[in-house]
Structure 1
Amino acid sequence: MTPLRKNLLIVTVLLAAVMELIDATIVNVALSHMSGNLGATLEDTSWVVTSYSIANVIIIPITSFLTAKFGRRNYYITSILIFTICSIMCGSATDIWTLVFFRFVQGLGGGALLSVSQAVIFEQFPREKQATAGAIFGIGVFIGPTIGPTLGGYIVDHYSWPWIFFVNVPVGILAIISCYKLLTEPAIKPVVKKIDWTGILLLAVGIGTLQTVLERGETEDWFATAYIAWFTVIAVVSLTAFVIWELKISNPVVDLGVLRSKTLSIAAVLTFITGVGLYSSIFITPVIAQRLLGFTPLQTGLMMLPGALLAVLALVFSGKIMQRGLSPVFIVAAGYISFIYFNWHMAHMSLDASEGYISTTLIFRSVGMAFLAVPLTTLAVSSLQPKDIPQGAALNNMMRQLGGSFGIAVINTYYTRRTAVHRTDLVSNITIENPEVTERINNAVHYFQSKGAGFFEAKAQAIGLLNAQVVKQTSMLSYLDAFFFLGGLFVITMPLLLFVRTKKRAMANVVISDH
């Protein structure tokens, strides 16, 4: 392959990977618009995010099998085609559950784009320049989350939310044409192994039912609703059977045997919590900014941009200091501390918070994300034998996606519970005996009367205004509790780093094996 064709191929697969990552974050700034336009609650609309993550969790473990079975070129092009067609269907959806369905299928198509793109990029560089390949792919991976919210905000402000999906179409078509012309099969073709369909089915059923229980349990009064009770039983049975089955067979879809490594087990827990923090924080921050603080989608996206750009520098920095011999444990600890500070700071926000306050605070989230991205994967595989590194890295990546999908569900449930508590506390102080309440209502009545309303109409409007303020305060207090809860998860799990013992291993070897 000529240098020109190599460079075009690198740009193409990197563009496809960035497109997939943009779609993972671009919807966050549009959730409020989707919710209002489709007549859905925010809890239902959150499935637009979680269904995509669940699909990724299901498809990532079997990507290597599908690549070997159908050929890398065919599978990769088909995945882009599925992703592009589903982008059209998502943008054309007229109800929330149609959107969620095609978003799930889109996630199945997008699952191949990251891992296959990474493998293709590494193939274009000799072994001694694998670090360069890792840097190119790493920076590309950060471009997606960086421009996703900003691009989404611009599109929603100037066009409409369906265009956050339609924008994928020309990119997808160009990627398909380019891959058809440039992409070839790897020099060493992978061996086609017998696929563990039973394991995949148990994993899909277990995750799907558990996710439904977490998402809908609070709304449906938990086990008082028959299907929630049944789904709980199915989730427990399926996931238990999945673990037993995967430990029993010779070619498991997820090799749980590698968890015998204490370091990998600890890294998997930390990665799961990281997924919870990453996806939950990027889910609720735009909701607060738009629904409670009155920011536009574009303002929200721009607010996230400085931190995301600094994250690229932090990613390069963390890679360099690891290559110089610093243990990933210290970098992960720094990332955790940065996340804890971010959540603590957000938990003390008020309804008067400015764009600058939130934007500055988000820098700590973004830097924390950069310090956790590569070091956690490095930590996860640091104690494994070379033959087990791919399985360890895949399992670790799966834990991050699981943490993300579960995190959003748990935060929604936690928010709902705290909303009920805070509303009760606030309403208990709103009585006619309270002089401040009486004064506020009277002032509002006089204001509405000055605008032409009659006394009874003005009083009804005044009470409605007071109720709206209670709802706003209740929501804000509940979201602040959510940030405090997320920070608590990081505080509780951070001491696990004290039990990690790492072996010195060349960073290049870890990067090569990660794909």
Structure 2
Amino acid sequence: MQPHPDSPAMGKTTLTLACLVLAFTNFMVVLDTTIANVSVAHIAGGLGISSSEGTWVITSYAVAEAICVPLTGWLARRFGTVRVFATGMAGFGLFSFLCGMAPTLGALVAFRIGQGLCGGPLMPISQTLLLRIFPKEKHAAAMGVWSMTTIVAPILGPILGGTISDNWGWHWIFFINIPIAAICAVSAVALLRKAETQIERTPIDTVGLMLLVLWVGALQLMLDLGREHDWFGAPLIVTLAMAAAAGFSFFLAWELFEDDPAVNLRVFRHRGFTVSVLALVFAYGTFFASLVVIPQWLQSSLGYTATWAGYATAFNGVAAVMVAPVVAKLSTRMDERLLVSFGILWLGATSLIRVFWWTSDADFWTLALPQMIQGIGMPFFFIPLTTLALGAVGEEETAAAAGVMNFLRTMSGAIGTAIVTTLWYDGAQSIRGQLSGVLNGAQQTMNGLQAHGYSAEQSRQVVSQLVDGQSTALATGSVFVIAAIVFAAGAAIVWLAPRPKHAVAAGHAH
């Protein structure tokens, strides 16, 4: 079998080892998007902060990663693909060490931003290098390996995060990255030198990049800090909102007329791409936010350890792995819009199941089963939506469109998490106030507890905990009602897109 003309000549053993290095790298980067989800309670307790502040550890990483994704192509051309990959791995390991050593929330968020900036290019570059080192006829198999790491990592993330946090401490969810990053960085230099790309002195859209950082950073800070600062009653939040709006306006104007923009917004002239990305933003942002809220509810209200919260959360990936091959075959035979709409509606239906099934006394399988059922719909949503979006643009625009799509997907997860956690916390407080005003038999309950040896203060705490548990459960149900509505809107929007103009190459489809 002759290698593809663009593929460097590599021995079978070297090729296999290089594939493992690239797959492990992708696995680690994707793993870090979910490994901290079940560790928020441990991080909050360790640093003496609230759980809502603890979610900044998740959103800061996602935002930094999203900002760096559009830079991947320029970095690879300017410094070489393998050099960027090895440097990114080394930086990821360094910032992972600093995250584990962080003494304060501010330091941890700063180091997570560094981790996201280094990790942002690794996912697309690992994919690019796999396609580069393998012969063209083996691209599908190589992408199959790469895709499995993308699917399996989010499943293992909550399980590993919970187990490590409960047994070793939250610091170790970051420390475990260090040896993997070191091995992959050194191995990349040793194994992939022949796959290095030529260096080009290409310019960078400095103004567009600065505007991107300005409006994205201001928007995320506004969403993260809004709850603690009474939203628009605080001058800080108003200033951040104005900065985000102004930065976004100038960013749009600059990028549309820039010859070599940091983010190619011209792809939005294609209706199919715009509609598909809009559906992606709604559905993925809502889905990712649920992965953050659920573990917090299980730990704060139902008494779950981080380990068992991780098990319950991870069940949605089990069914997704089994159904993905079926969806891949169906997407070549059926209308992609039908598959995507079905997948998003399925996510909405499982949200409604949670509303009726999930109560403050639900057992483990009552909590885990909707997660597993939800997993069936995930491949129907993710796989054909990529084809629908990238198939709507010109073939020469596919790479740029994929970059924009990945940027907005990651951003939607961060923004969705900030919005949903705010709704959840505020909703729980509001419902608690309502329940406190309509309690029946509270004094009789307290008297009964005191008759069994409880003190007056202990009996009041028991009643307060009961009210807290019920208010949080009701707030969780309210969040999933809103989620179901958003999913339904996303499923309807998809039908505004036309059928794809052309097939999508394997590298971009994955």
Report the TM-score range of the alignment, normalised by the length of the smaller protein. Answer: over 0.9
The secondary structure found in structure 1 opposite 2:498 is: coil
TM-superposed deviation, 1:398 = 1.1
1:246-287 CA deviation, whole Å, 9 max, x = no partner? 101111111111101010000110111122123101101111
1:43 and 2:48 matched: no
Contact 1:328 1:376 in 2 (8 A): yes
Moved more, 300-309 or 135-144: 300-309
Contact 2:387 2:500 in 1 (8 A): no
Contact 2:219 2:244 in 1 (8 A): yes
Partner of 1:445: 450
282, 299, 302: which is aligned to 2:311? Answer: 302
Residues 178-197 of structure 1 correspond to what in structure 2 (within 5 A)? 178-184=187-193, 186=195, 189=198, 191-197=200-206
Residues 5-404 of structure 1 correspond to what in structure 2 (within 5 A)? 5-184=14-193, 186=195, 189=198, 191-323=200-332, 325-348=333-356, 349-404=358-413
Residues 410-429 of structure 1 correspond to what in structure 2 (within 5 A)? 410-429=419-438
- Whole-angstrom distance in 2 between the partners of 1:44 and 1:230: 20
Contact 1:389 1:514 in 2 (8 A): no
Moved more, 382-391 or 122-131: 122-131
The secondary structure found in structure 1 opposite 2:33 is: helix
Residues 474-485 of structure 1 correspond to what in structure 2 (within 5 A)? 474-485=471-482
Contact 1:135 1:316 in 2 (8 A): no
1:425-475 CA deviation, whole Å, 9 max, x = no partner? 101113xxx4x22211111221235xxxxxxxx222212221222122222
- State TM-score, norm by structure 2: 0.94
Partner of 2:6: none
1:511 and 2:506 matched: yes
Moved more, 401-410 or 313-322: 313-322
TM-superposed deviation, 1:53 = 0.4
- Whole-angstrom distance in 2 between the partners of 1:134 and 1:226: 49
What RMSD, in angstroms, separates the aligned Cα atoms of the two structures? 1.7
Contact 1:193 1:251 in 2 (8 A): no
Moved more, 11-20 or 331-340: 331-340
489, 494, 499: which is aligned to 1:497? Answer: 494
- Output the amino acid matched with 1:437: A
1:463 and 2:449 matched: no
The secondary structure found in structure 2 opposite 1:384 is: coil
- Output the amino acid matched with 2:31: I
TM-superposed deviation, 1:222 = 1.6
- Whole-angstrom distance in 2 between the partners of 1:447 and 1:185: 76
Moved more, 9-18 or 473-482: 473-482
Partner of 2:4: none
Moved more, 28-37 or 307-316: 307-316
- Whole-angstrom distance in 1 between the partners of 2:369 and 2:116: 32
Contact 1:448 1:461 in 2 (8 A): no
TM-superposed deviation, 1:187 = 7.3
- Whole-angstrom distance in 1 between the partners of 2:160 and 2:325: 24
Query: Which blocks of at least 5 consecutive residues in structure 2 are unaligned?
Result: 1-9
Partner of 1:487: 484
- Whole-angstrom distance in 1 between the partners of 2:196 and 2:42: 47
Partner of 2:3: none
TM-superposed deviation, 1:243 = 0.7
TM-superposed deviation, 1:176 = 1.3
- Whole-angstrom distance in 2 between the partners of 1:419 and 1:447: 30
Moved more, 387-396 or 409-418: 409-418
Moved more, 182-191 or 385-394: 182-191
Call closer, same or farther: CA 1:48–1:185 in 2, change over 3 Å.
farther
Moved more, 463-472 or 224-233: 463-472
Contact 1:156 1:164 in 2 (8 A): yes
- Output the amino acid matched with 2:334: L
Query: Which blocks of at least 5 consecutive residues in structure 1 are unaligned?
Result: 450-457
Contact 1:275 1:402 in 2 (8 A): no
1:44-98 CA deviation, whole Å, 9 max, x = no partner? 1100000000001110001110111111121111100110011111111111111
Call closer, same or farther: CA 1:185–1:390 in 2, change over 3 Å.
farther
How many residues of Structure 1 are paired with residues of Structure 2 in the alignment? 500
- Output the amino acid matched with 1:411: V
- Whole-angstrom distance in 1 between the partners of 2:218 and 2:261: 22
TM-superposed deviation, 1:190 = 7.2
The secondary structure found in structure 1 opposite 2:35 is: helix
- Output the amino acid matched with 1:440: T
- Whole-angstrom distance in 1 between the partners of 2:321 and 2:223: 34
